[in-house]
Structure 1
Amino acid sequence: MTVKLESETYPDTYFVGAYWGPRKEPPKECAHRTADFLNLLAKCDPFLADWYMPTKSRKDARKHPLMPPDMTTLAEMFRRGVNREKGGPIFEDLGFSFWFDNGGTGRDCAALRIHCGGYAEAFSNSCFLSLPSQGANAERLFTAPALSCVVRSMALAWEPDWVAAMSRTHRDLDDKDGKTDVWLGWATYLARHRGTVPPLPAPVRIEPVGDRGTLIILTPERFTVTNPEHVALSRRVRELLDRAGLLKPVQPQA
Protein backbone atom coordinates (compact mmCIF):
# COMPACT_ATOMS: atom_id res chain seq x y z
CA MET A 1 0.00 0.00 0.00
CA THR A 2 1.23 3.54 -0.79
CA VAL A 3 -0.03 6.99 -0.01
CA LYS A 4 0.35 10.25 -1.93
CA LEU A 5 2.09 13.04 -0.04
CA GLU A 6 3.29 16.31 -1.57
CA SER A 7 3.25 14.88 -5.11
CA GLU A 8 5.49 11.96 -4.16
CA THR A 9 4.74 8.33 -3.35
CA TYR A 10 5.95 6.71 -0.13
CA PRO A 11 5.38 3.28 1.47
CA ASP A 12 2.80 3.49 4.24
CA THR A 13 4.66 1.55 6.93
CA TYR A 14 3.12 0.21 10.13
CA PHE A 15 4.24 -0.30 13.71
CA VAL A 16 2.81 -1.31 17.08
CA GLY A 17 4.08 0.44 20.19
CA ALA A 18 3.33 -0.14 23.89
CA TYR A 19 4.23 2.48 26.50
CA TRP A 20 4.20 2.60 30.30
CA GLY A 21 5.58 4.85 32.99
CA PRO A 22 8.37 4.28 35.54
CA ARG A 23 8.38 0.68 36.77
CA LYS A 24 11.38 -0.84 38.56
CA GLU A 25 12.00 -4.36 37.23
CA PRO A 26 15.24 -6.40 37.15
CA PRO A 27 16.57 -8.07 33.96
CA LYS A 28 15.00 -11.37 35.01
CA GLU A 29 11.51 -9.85 35.12
CA CYS A 30 12.07 -8.06 31.80
CA ALA A 31 13.11 -11.41 30.35
CA HIS A 32 9.99 -13.09 31.74
CA ARG A 33 7.73 -10.48 30.16
CA THR A 34 9.62 -10.73 26.86
CA ALA A 35 9.21 -14.52 26.81
CA ASP A 36 5.49 -14.19 27.46
CA PHE A 37 5.19 -11.59 24.73
CA LEU A 38 7.10 -13.61 22.11
CA ASN A 39 4.98 -16.69 22.80
CA LEU A 40 1.77 -14.67 22.44
CA LEU A 41 3.09 -12.88 19.34
CA ALA A 42 3.88 -16.18 17.62
CA LYS A 43 0.16 -16.99 17.66
CA CYS A 44 -0.72 -13.82 15.73
CA ASP A 45 1.10 -14.71 12.49
CA PRO A 46 3.83 -17.13 11.35
CA PHE A 47 6.01 -14.17 10.31
CA LEU A 48 6.16 -13.13 13.98
CA ALA A 49 7.04 -16.59 15.29
CA ASP A 50 10.84 -16.58 14.75
CA TRP A 51 13.28 -14.15 16.38
CA TYR A 52 17.07 -14.04 16.54
CA MET A 53 19.74 -12.57 18.77
CA PRO A 54 21.48 -9.45 17.41
CA THR A 55 24.73 -10.39 15.62
CA LYS A 56 27.19 -8.71 13.27
CA SER A 57 25.80 -10.50 10.20
CA ARG A 58 22.44 -11.90 9.06
CA LYS A 59 24.10 -15.25 8.38
CA ASP A 60 25.30 -15.54 11.98
CA ALA A 61 21.90 -14.48 13.36
CA ARG A 62 20.25 -17.64 12.06
CA LYS A 63 22.58 -19.62 14.30
CA HIS A 64 21.25 -17.88 17.44
CA PRO A 65 17.46 -18.21 17.60
CA LEU A 66 15.49 -16.70 20.47
CA MET A 67 12.56 -19.06 19.98
CA PRO A 68 11.47 -20.86 22.01
CA PRO A 69 12.39 -18.19 24.57
CA ASP A 70 15.17 -19.03 27.02
CA MET A 71 14.98 -17.03 30.25
CA THR A 72 18.72 -17.12 30.94
CA THR A 73 19.59 -15.85 27.47
CA LEU A 74 17.00 -13.08 27.54
CA ALA A 75 17.98 -11.91 31.01
CA GLU A 76 21.64 -11.73 29.97
CA MET A 77 20.75 -9.67 26.88
CA PHE A 78 18.92 -7.17 29.07
CA ARG A 79 21.85 -7.02 31.51
CA ARG A 80 24.12 -6.15 28.58
CA GLY A 81 21.69 -3.43 27.58
CA VAL A 82 22.10 -1.48 30.79
CA ASN A 83 22.49 2.28 30.47
CA ARG A 84 25.94 3.59 31.36
CA GLU A 85 28.52 6.12 30.32
CA LYS A 86 31.58 4.66 28.62
CA GLY A 87 33.87 3.54 31.38
CA GLY A 88 31.52 5.03 33.96
CA PRO A 89 28.87 3.84 36.41
CA ILE A 90 25.61 2.10 35.55
CA PHE A 91 22.47 4.23 35.54
CA GLU A 92 20.20 1.65 37.16
CA ASP A 93 17.12 3.90 37.14
CA LEU A 94 17.22 4.12 33.32
CA GLY A 95 16.50 0.43 32.95
CA PHE A 96 17.59 -2.00 30.23
CA SER A 97 17.32 -2.08 26.43
CA PHE A 98 17.25 -4.98 23.95
CA TRP A 99 17.01 -4.77 20.12
CA PHE A 100 16.50 -7.76 17.80
CA ASP A 101 14.60 -8.86 14.67
CA ASN A 102 13.05 -11.84 12.93
CA GLY A 103 15.81 -12.38 10.38
CA GLY A 104 13.96 -10.76 7.50
CA THR A 105 15.70 -8.66 4.88
CA GLY A 106 15.12 -5.22 3.40
CA ARG A 107 11.49 -4.14 3.61
CA ASP A 108 10.35 -7.66 4.51
CA CYS A 109 11.53 -7.61 8.11
CA ALA A 110 10.04 -7.21 11.60
CA ALA A 111 12.11 -5.72 14.42
CA LEU A 112 11.58 -5.33 18.17
CA ARG A 113 13.00 -2.64 20.43
CA ILE A 114 12.28 -3.13 24.14
CA HIS A 115 13.10 -0.75 26.98
CA CYS A 116 12.15 -2.20 30.36
CA GLY A 117 12.80 -1.62 34.05
CA GLY A 118 13.33 2.15 33.96
CA TYR A 119 12.08 3.98 37.04
CA ALA A 120 13.57 7.47 36.77
CA GLU A 121 11.10 10.30 37.26
CA ALA A 122 8.90 10.89 34.19
CA PHE A 123 10.58 7.90 32.46
CA SER A 124 8.73 5.96 29.75
CA ASN A 125 9.33 2.25 29.14
CA SER A 126 8.30 0.76 25.82
CA CYS A 127 8.00 -2.20 23.48
CA PHE A 128 8.12 -1.12 19.82
CA LEU A 129 7.48 -3.49 16.91
CA SER A 130 8.37 -2.34 13.38
CA LEU A 131 6.50 -4.31 10.73
CA PRO A 132 7.50 -5.13 7.12
CA SER A 133 6.60 -2.39 4.65
CA GLN A 134 6.12 -4.40 1.46
CA GLY A 135 5.26 -7.90 0.28
CA ALA A 136 2.88 -10.71 1.19
CA ASN A 137 3.78 -10.62 4.89
CA ALA A 138 3.01 -6.91 5.10
CA GLU A 139 -0.34 -7.32 3.36
CA ARG A 140 -1.30 -10.15 5.69
CA LEU A 141 -0.30 -8.24 8.81
CA PHE A 142 -1.96 -4.96 7.81
CA THR A 143 -5.41 -6.17 8.83
CA ALA A 144 -7.56 -5.40 11.85
CA PRO A 145 -7.46 -9.00 13.21
CA ALA A 146 -3.66 -9.33 12.93
CA LEU A 147 -2.86 -5.94 14.44
CA SER A 148 -5.47 -6.41 17.17
CA CYS A 149 -3.78 -9.70 18.11
CA VAL A 150 -0.41 -7.96 18.39
CA VAL A 151 -1.90 -5.16 20.50
CA ARG A 152 -3.54 -7.70 22.83
CA SER A 153 -0.24 -9.58 23.15
CA MET A 154 1.56 -6.42 24.18
CA ALA A 155 -1.18 -5.48 26.63
CA LEU A 156 -1.14 -8.88 28.34
CA ALA A 157 2.63 -9.30 28.51
CA TRP A 158 3.76 -5.77 29.36
CA GLU A 159 0.77 -4.32 31.26
CA PRO A 160 1.34 -0.92 29.61
CA ASP A 161 -0.63 2.30 29.94
CA TRP A 162 -1.45 2.26 26.24
CA VAL A 163 -0.69 0.58 22.94
CA ALA A 164 -1.18 1.88 19.39
CA ALA A 165 -1.03 0.04 16.05
CA MET A 166 -0.90 2.44 13.13
CA SER A 167 0.94 3.64 10.06
CA ARG A 168 3.63 6.27 10.34
CA THR A 169 1.64 8.63 8.13
CA HIS A 170 -1.32 8.21 10.50
CA ARG A 171 0.94 8.93 13.48
CA ASP A 172 2.26 12.09 11.83
CA LEU A 173 -1.31 13.23 11.25
CA ASP A 174 -2.41 12.36 14.80
CA ASP A 175 0.65 13.99 16.38
CA LYS A 176 1.43 16.96 14.16
CA ASP A 177 3.35 18.93 16.77
CA GLY A 178 5.07 15.93 18.38
CA LYS A 179 3.49 16.66 21.76
CA THR A 180 0.54 14.23 21.81
CA ASP A 181 0.50 12.16 25.01
CA VAL A 182 -1.27 9.10 23.56
CA TRP A 183 -1.46 8.19 19.87
CA LEU A 184 -4.83 7.00 18.62
CA GLY A 185 -4.10 4.19 16.19
CA TRP A 186 -6.14 2.02 13.88
CA ALA A 187 -6.14 -0.30 16.91
CA THR A 188 -5.54 1.18 20.38
CA TYR A 189 -5.38 -0.30 23.87
CA LEU A 190 -6.03 1.78 26.98
CA ALA A 191 -5.36 0.36 30.46
CA ARG A 192 -8.33 0.14 32.80
CA HIS A 193 -6.77 2.51 35.34
CA ARG A 194 -6.95 5.30 32.75
CA GLY A 195 -10.75 5.30 32.96
CA THR A 196 -13.87 3.96 31.27
CA VAL A 197 -14.11 4.12 27.49
CA PRO A 198 -17.32 5.98 26.50
CA PRO A 199 -19.69 4.88 23.71
CA LEU A 200 -18.03 5.51 20.34
CA PRO A 201 -19.57 5.97 16.87
CA ALA A 202 -19.89 3.17 14.32
CA PRO A 203 -18.00 1.39 12.87
CA VAL A 204 -15.70 1.55 15.93
CA ARG A 205 -15.45 -1.68 17.92
CA ILE A 206 -14.72 -1.79 21.65
CA GLU A 207 -13.45 -5.05 23.16
CA PRO A 208 -12.23 -5.94 26.67
CA VAL A 209 -8.69 -7.27 27.10
CA GLY A 210 -9.27 -9.58 30.05
CA ASP A 211 -9.51 -7.41 33.14
CA ARG A 212 -6.57 -5.26 32.02
CA GLY A 213 -8.20 -2.66 29.80
CA THR A 214 -9.95 -1.95 26.51
CA LEU A 215 -9.14 -2.47 22.83
CA ILE A 216 -10.53 0.12 20.38
CA ILE A 217 -10.59 -0.69 16.65
CA LEU A 218 -11.51 2.27 14.45
CA THR A 219 -12.50 0.42 11.28
CA PRO A 220 -12.76 -3.23 10.14
CA GLU A 221 -11.09 -2.31 6.82
CA ARG A 222 -7.57 -0.90 6.55
CA PHE A 223 -7.36 2.58 8.02
CA THR A 224 -5.72 5.08 5.69
CA VAL A 225 -5.14 8.83 5.91
CA THR A 226 -6.13 9.15 2.24
CA ASN A 227 -9.73 8.33 3.22
CA PRO A 228 -11.37 11.52 4.59
CA GLU A 229 -14.03 9.47 6.39
CA HIS A 230 -11.32 7.59 8.28
CA VAL A 231 -9.57 10.82 9.25
CA ALA A 232 -12.83 12.40 10.42
CA LEU A 233 -13.66 9.28 12.46
CA SER A 234 -10.23 9.27 14.10
CA ARG A 235 -10.59 12.92 15.09
CA ARG A 236 -14.07 12.35 16.50
CA VAL A 237 -12.96 9.35 18.56
CA ARG A 238 -9.92 11.26 19.84
CA GLU A 239 -12.22 14.10 20.91
CA LEU A 240 -14.53 11.74 22.80
CA LEU A 241 -11.66 9.90 24.52
CA ASP A 242 -9.95 13.14 25.44
CA ARG A 243 -13.18 14.53 26.88
CA ALA A 244 -13.45 11.36 29.01
CA GLY A 245 -9.92 11.97 30.36
CA LEU A 246 -8.43 8.82 28.79
CA LEU A 247 -5.61 10.45 26.83
CA LYS A 248 -3.72 12.06 29.69
CA PRO A 249 0.09 11.51 30.00
CA VAL A 250 1.52 8.22 31.18
CA GLN A 251 1.48 8.05 34.99
CA PRO A 252 4.06 6.40 37.30
CA GLN A 253 3.16 2.86 38.39
CA ALA A 254 3.69 1.38 41.83
Structure 2
Amino acid sequence: MTSRYSCRMDESYYLGTYWLARRETAEACARRAEAFFRLLAPCDPSLSQWFEKGWTLEEALAHRCELDAASIATEFSQQEWEEGRFAGEGFSLRLWNGELHEAASSLSLRCGDASVWVSNLCLFNPPAEGPAEERVLQAPVLARILRAMAVAFEPEWGIATSRELRGMLAPEPADAGTFVGWLMYFSHRRGPLPPLPPPVHTEPVEDKGTLVILTPERFTASNPAHVALARDVSERLAQAGLLTPLRPCEE
Protein backbone atom coordinates (compact mmCIF):
# COMPACT_ATOMS: atom_id res chain seq x y z
CA MET A 1 0.00 0.00 0.00
CA THR A 2 1.73 3.14 -1.19
CA SER A 3 -0.07 6.36 -2.00
CA ARG A 4 0.04 10.07 -1.40
CA TYR A 5 -1.80 9.44 1.90
CA SER A 6 1.01 7.32 3.35
CA CYS A 7 3.39 10.27 3.01
CA ARG A 8 1.66 12.20 5.81
CA MET A 9 4.10 12.20 8.74
CA ASP A 10 2.38 14.61 11.10
CA GLU A 11 0.66 12.05 13.34
CA SER A 12 1.63 11.48 16.96
CA TYR A 13 2.62 7.90 17.77
CA TYR A 14 3.00 5.96 21.00
CA LEU A 15 3.72 2.40 22.05
CA GLY A 16 2.39 0.80 25.21
CA THR A 17 1.86 -2.52 26.94
CA TYR A 18 -0.63 -3.07 29.76
CA TRP A 19 -1.48 -5.64 32.44
CA LEU A 20 -3.78 -5.63 35.43
CA ALA A 21 -3.57 -6.58 39.11
CA ARG A 22 -0.17 -8.25 39.34
CA ARG A 23 1.42 -7.52 42.69
CA GLU A 24 5.21 -7.88 42.61
CA THR A 25 8.09 -6.88 44.85
CA ALA A 26 10.48 -4.03 44.16
CA GLU A 27 13.18 -6.59 43.34
CA ALA A 28 10.97 -8.49 40.88
CA CYS A 29 9.92 -5.29 39.09
CA ALA A 30 13.55 -4.14 38.97
CA ARG A 31 14.62 -7.39 37.31
CA ARG A 32 11.92 -6.95 34.70
CA ALA A 33 12.98 -3.34 34.08
CA GLU A 34 16.64 -4.32 33.70
CA ALA A 35 15.69 -6.99 31.16
CA PHE A 36 13.62 -4.46 29.23
CA PHE A 37 16.35 -1.82 29.09
CA ARG A 38 18.85 -4.47 27.97
CA LEU A 39 16.56 -5.44 25.07
CA LEU A 40 15.62 -1.83 24.27
CA ALA A 41 19.13 -0.40 23.89
CA PRO A 42 19.99 -2.18 20.59
CA CYS A 43 16.75 -1.00 18.98
CA ASP A 44 18.16 2.50 18.28
CA PRO A 45 21.18 4.56 19.41
CA SER A 46 18.84 7.12 21.02
CA LEU A 47 17.45 4.50 23.41
CA SER A 48 20.62 3.40 25.19
CA GLN A 49 20.56 5.86 28.10
CA TRP A 50 17.79 7.37 30.24
CA PHE A 51 17.46 10.21 32.74
CA GLU A 52 15.02 11.08 35.46
CA LYS A 53 12.85 14.05 34.55
CA GLY A 54 13.62 17.37 36.27
CA TRP A 55 12.39 20.95 36.42
CA THR A 56 15.30 22.12 34.27
CA LEU A 57 17.50 20.59 31.57
CA GLU A 58 20.55 20.77 33.83
CA GLU A 59 18.72 19.08 36.70
CA ALA A 60 17.49 16.25 34.47
CA LEU A 61 20.88 15.60 32.85
CA ALA A 62 22.44 15.37 36.31
CA HIS A 63 20.24 12.39 37.17
CA ARG A 64 21.16 9.64 34.76
CA CYS A 65 19.28 6.45 35.54
CA GLU A 66 21.42 3.41 36.26
CA LEU A 67 19.74 0.57 34.40
CA ASP A 68 20.92 -2.44 36.43
CA ALA A 69 18.44 -4.32 38.64
CA ALA A 70 20.17 -3.39 41.91
CA SER A 71 20.02 0.36 41.22
CA ILE A 72 16.43 0.22 40.01
CA ALA A 73 15.44 -1.87 43.05
CA THR A 74 16.95 0.80 45.31
CA GLU A 75 14.81 3.45 43.61
CA PHE A 76 11.70 1.29 43.94
CA SER A 77 12.42 0.49 47.59
CA GLN A 78 12.62 4.22 48.33
CA GLN A 79 9.15 4.62 46.82
CA GLU A 80 7.79 2.08 49.32
CA TRP A 81 8.49 4.55 52.14
CA GLU A 82 6.79 7.55 50.57
CA GLU A 83 4.23 9.24 52.80
CA GLY A 84 0.64 8.41 51.94
CA ARG A 85 1.53 5.37 49.88
CA PHE A 86 -0.44 2.15 50.33
CA ALA A 87 0.86 -1.41 50.03
CA GLY A 88 0.32 -2.93 46.60
CA GLU A 89 0.41 0.36 44.71
CA GLY A 90 3.40 -0.73 42.67
CA PHE A 91 6.49 1.13 41.50
CA SER A 92 7.03 3.71 38.80
CA LEU A 93 9.62 5.39 36.61
CA ARG A 94 9.25 8.45 34.39
CA LEU A 95 12.29 8.85 32.15
CA TRP A 96 13.63 10.87 29.24
CA ASN A 97 16.42 9.80 26.89
CA GLY A 98 18.47 12.99 27.30
CA GLU A 99 18.07 14.02 23.67
CA LEU A 100 16.79 17.43 22.64
CA HIS A 101 14.12 18.41 20.17
CA GLU A 102 13.61 15.90 17.37
CA ALA A 103 15.45 12.97 19.03
CA ALA A 104 13.69 13.23 22.39
CA SER A 105 11.83 10.15 23.67
CA SER A 106 10.10 9.50 26.97
CA LEU A 107 9.25 6.36 28.91
CA SER A 108 6.78 5.68 31.73
CA LEU A 109 6.66 2.47 33.74
CA ARG A 110 4.29 1.21 36.41
CA CYS A 111 4.95 -2.31 37.71
CA GLY A 112 3.74 -4.38 40.67
CA ASP A 113 0.40 -2.63 41.21
CA ALA A 114 -2.25 -4.96 42.65
CA SER A 115 -5.21 -2.74 41.72
CA VAL A 116 -7.97 -4.10 39.48
CA TRP A 117 -8.82 -0.52 38.44
CA VAL A 118 -5.45 0.99 37.48
CA SER A 119 -3.33 -0.93 34.99
CA ASN A 120 0.38 -1.57 35.14
CA LEU A 121 2.02 -0.29 31.99
CA CYS A 122 5.15 0.40 30.00
CA LEU A 123 4.54 3.42 27.76
CA PHE A 124 7.01 4.74 25.19
CA ASN A 125 6.71 8.03 23.29
CA PRO A 126 9.10 7.96 20.31
CA PRO A 127 10.87 10.91 18.70
CA ALA A 128 8.45 13.31 17.04
CA GLU A 129 10.50 14.35 14.00
CA GLY A 130 13.87 14.25 12.30
CA PRO A 131 16.30 11.37 11.67
CA ALA A 132 15.55 9.66 15.00
CA GLU A 133 11.85 9.58 14.17
CA GLU A 134 12.56 8.14 10.73
CA ARG A 135 14.67 5.38 12.27
CA VAL A 136 12.31 4.47 15.11
CA LEU A 137 8.93 4.73 13.38
CA GLN A 138 9.58 1.69 11.23
CA ALA A 139 7.59 -1.50 11.66
CA PRO A 140 10.65 -3.71 12.37
CA VAL A 141 11.98 -1.31 15.04
CA LEU A 142 8.61 -0.88 16.74
CA ALA A 143 8.17 -4.65 16.64
CA ARG A 144 11.50 -5.07 18.47
CA ILE A 145 10.48 -2.53 21.11
CA LEU A 146 7.06 -4.12 21.58
CA ARG A 147 8.69 -7.53 21.77
CA ALA A 148 11.13 -6.25 24.42
CA MET A 149 8.21 -5.05 26.53
CA ALA A 150 6.37 -8.35 26.08
CA VAL A 151 9.37 -10.49 27.02
CA ALA A 152 10.33 -8.38 30.04
CA PHE A 153 6.95 -7.52 31.55
CA GLU A 154 4.65 -10.29 30.25
CA PRO A 155 1.73 -7.92 29.64
CA GLU A 156 -1.73 -8.98 28.55
CA TRP A 157 -1.94 -6.58 25.62
CA GLY A 158 0.09 -3.99 23.77
CA ILE A 159 -0.15 -1.55 20.89
CA ALA A 160 1.89 0.79 18.70
CA THR A 161 -0.24 3.31 16.84
CA SER A 162 -0.96 6.95 16.24
CA ARG A 163 -3.25 8.86 18.55
CA GLU A 164 -5.13 10.07 15.49
CA LEU A 165 -5.91 6.51 14.38
CA ARG A 166 -6.97 5.58 17.92
CA GLY A 167 -9.33 8.56 17.91
CA MET A 168 -10.93 7.35 14.69
CA LEU A 169 -11.36 3.73 15.77
CA ALA A 170 -12.08 3.92 19.49
CA PRO A 171 -14.30 6.02 21.74
CA GLU A 172 -12.65 8.27 24.31
CA PRO A 173 -11.62 7.22 26.83
CA ALA A 174 -10.78 3.86 25.24
CA ASP A 175 -10.01 0.92 27.53
CA ALA A 176 -6.70 -0.85 26.96
CA GLY A 177 -7.27 -4.00 24.94
CA THR A 178 -10.38 -2.83 23.12
CA PHE A 179 -9.06 -1.25 19.91
CA VAL A 180 -6.60 -1.93 17.10
CA GLY A 181 -3.49 -0.14 15.86
CA TRP A 182 -0.54 -0.46 13.53
CA LEU A 183 1.15 -3.10 15.69
CA MET A 184 -0.48 -5.11 18.49
CA TYR A 185 0.55 -7.70 21.03
CA PHE A 186 -1.83 -10.33 22.39
CA SER A 187 -0.79 -12.64 25.20
CA HIS A 188 -1.96 -16.23 24.88
CA ARG A 189 -4.26 -15.54 27.84
CA ARG A 190 -6.57 -13.63 25.51
CA GLY A 191 -7.14 -16.61 23.24
CA PRO A 192 -6.17 -17.66 19.70
CA LEU A 193 -6.04 -15.17 16.86
CA PRO A 194 -8.48 -15.57 13.94
CA PRO A 195 -7.31 -15.58 10.31
CA LEU A 196 -6.35 -12.03 9.30
CA PRO A 197 -6.26 -10.52 5.80
CA PRO A 198 -3.10 -9.61 3.89
CA PRO A 199 -0.84 -7.72 4.31
CA VAL A 200 -1.23 -8.43 8.04
CA HIS A 201 1.76 -10.30 9.46
CA THR A 202 2.00 -12.19 12.77
CA GLU A 203 5.06 -13.23 14.79
CA PRO A 204 5.30 -15.42 17.91
CA VAL A 205 6.87 -13.89 21.03
CA GLU A 206 8.56 -16.85 22.71
CA ASP A 207 5.84 -18.84 24.49
CA LYS A 208 4.09 -15.69 25.71
CA GLY A 209 1.96 -14.34 22.88
CA THR A 210 1.79 -12.99 19.35
CA LEU A 211 2.71 -9.76 17.56
CA VAL A 212 0.31 -8.54 14.88
CA ILE A 213 1.68 -6.06 12.29
CA LEU A 214 -0.94 -4.57 10.00
CA THR A 215 1.40 -3.14 7.34
CA PRO A 216 5.17 -3.05 6.74
CA GLU A 217 4.98 0.69 5.90
CA ARG A 218 4.02 3.40 8.35
CA PHE A 219 0.34 3.10 9.22
CA THR A 220 -1.51 6.42 9.13
CA ALA A 221 -5.01 7.69 9.85
CA SER A 222 -4.73 9.86 6.72
CA ASN A 223 -4.60 6.79 4.43
CA PRO A 224 -8.14 5.50 3.71
CA ALA A 225 -6.79 2.06 2.78
CA HIS A 226 -5.07 1.81 6.15
CA VAL A 227 -8.22 2.83 8.00
CA ALA A 228 -10.29 0.31 6.03
CA LEU A 229 -7.80 -2.44 6.87
CA ALA A 230 -7.86 -1.47 10.55
CA ARG A 231 -11.67 -1.61 10.63
CA ASP A 232 -11.63 -5.04 8.96
CA VAL A 233 -9.06 -6.39 11.43
CA SER A 234 -10.96 -4.81 14.32
CA GLU A 235 -14.17 -6.61 13.31
CA ARG A 236 -12.40 -9.96 13.02
CA LEU A 237 -10.64 -9.61 16.37
CA ALA A 238 -13.83 -8.47 18.08
CA GLN A 239 -15.75 -11.45 16.72
CA ALA A 240 -13.00 -13.73 18.08
CA GLY A 241 -13.38 -12.16 21.53
CA LEU A 242 -9.93 -10.56 21.56
CA LEU A 243 -10.86 -6.88 21.90
CA THR A 244 -11.95 -6.93 25.53
CA PRO A 245 -10.84 -4.93 28.58
CA LEU A 246 -7.92 -6.22 30.61
CA ARG A 247 -8.52 -8.96 33.15
CA PRO A 248 -6.71 -9.40 36.48
CA CYS A 249 -3.61 -11.57 36.15
CA GLU A 250 -4.05 -15.09 37.41
CA GLU A 251 -2.37 -15.82 40.73
Q: Are 1:251 and 2:247 an aligned pair?
A: yes
Counterpart in the other structure of 1:57:
56
Q: Secondary structure of the equivalent of 2:207?
A: coil
For residues 16 and 82 of structure 1, do their structure 2 counterparts lie closer, same or farther at Cα, with a shift above 3 Å needed? Answer: farther
Q: Are 1:25 and 2:45 an aligned pair?
A: no
Distance across 2 between alignment mates of 1:251 and 1:31? 23
Residues 49-80 of structure 1, C-alpha deviation per residue, up to 9 Å, x if partnerless? 1212334433344444335x222321122234
Identity over aligned pairs, percent? 40
Counterpart in the other structure of 2:180:
184
Counterpart in the other structure of 1:115:
110
Counterpart in the other structure of 1:202:
198
Residues 151-182 of structure 1, C-alpha deviation per residue, up to 9 Å, x if partnerless? 10110001000110111111212223323442
Q: Secondary structure of the equivalent of 1:50?
A: coil
In structure 1, stretches of 5+ residues that fail to align are none
Distance across 2 between alignment mates of 1:177 and 1:71? 36
Question: Which of 115, 125, 146 matches 1:130?
Answer: 125
Distance across 2 between alignment mates of 1:96 and 1:120? 12
Counterpart in the other structure of 1:79:
77
TM-score by length of 1: 0.88
Distance across 2 between alignment mates of 1:240 and 1:170? 18
Distance across 2 between alignment mates of 1:148 and 1:168? 18
Distance across 2 between alignment mates of 1:188 and 1:81? 31
Distance across 2 between alignment mates of 1:78 and 1:21? 19
Q: Are 1:213 and 2:212 an aligned pair?
A: no
Counterpart in the other structure of 1:95:
90
Distance across 2 between alignment mates of 1:176 and 1:120? 24
Q: Are 1:225 and 2:197 an aligned pair?
A: no
| RMSD over aligned Cα atoms | 2.2
Say whether the 8 Å CA contact 2:185–2:212 is kept in structure 1: yes
In structure 2, stretches of 5+ residues that fail to align are none
Say whether the 8 Å CA contact 2:15–2:161 is kept in structure 1: yes
Say whether the 8 Å CA contact 1:83–1:92 is kept in structure 2: no
Counterpart in the other structure of 1:48:
47
Distance across 2 between alignment mates of 1:226 and 1:81? 43
Counterpart in the other structure of 1:141:
136
For residues 82 and 172 of structure 1, do their structure 2 counterparts lie closer, same or farther at Cα, with a shift above 3 Å needed? Answer: farther
Distance across 2 between alignment mates of 1:126 and 1:98? 11
Q: Are 1:15 and 2:11 an aligned pair?
A: no
Q: Are 1:106 and 2:95 an aligned pair?
A: no
For residues 160 and 27 of structure 1, do their structure 2 counterparts lie closer, same or farther at Cα, with a shift above 3 Å needed? Answer: same
Distance across 2 between alignment mates of 1:171 and 1:110? 20
Q: Which has the higher contact order (CA 8 A, sep 6+)?
A: 2
What displacement does 1:83 show?
A: 9.2
What displacement does 1:97 show?
A: 1.6
Amino acid at match of 2:244: K
What displacement does 1:207 show?
A: 1.0
What displacement does 1:110 show?
A: 0.7
Paired residues in the alignment total 244
Distance across 2 between alignment mates of 1:211 and 1:71? 24
Amino acid at match of 1:186: W
For residues 252 and 83 of structure 1, do their structure 2 counterparts lie closer, same or farther at Cα, with a shift above 3 Å needed? Answer: farther
TM-score by length of 2: 0.89
Residues 122-151 of structure 1, C-alpha deviation per residue, up to 9 Å, x if partnerless? 331101011111111001111111111111
Distance across 2 between alignment mates of 1:180 and 1:54? 27
Say whether the 8 Å CA contact 1:170–1:185 is kept in structure 2: yes
Say whether the 8 Å CA contact 1:82–1:97 is kept in structure 2: no
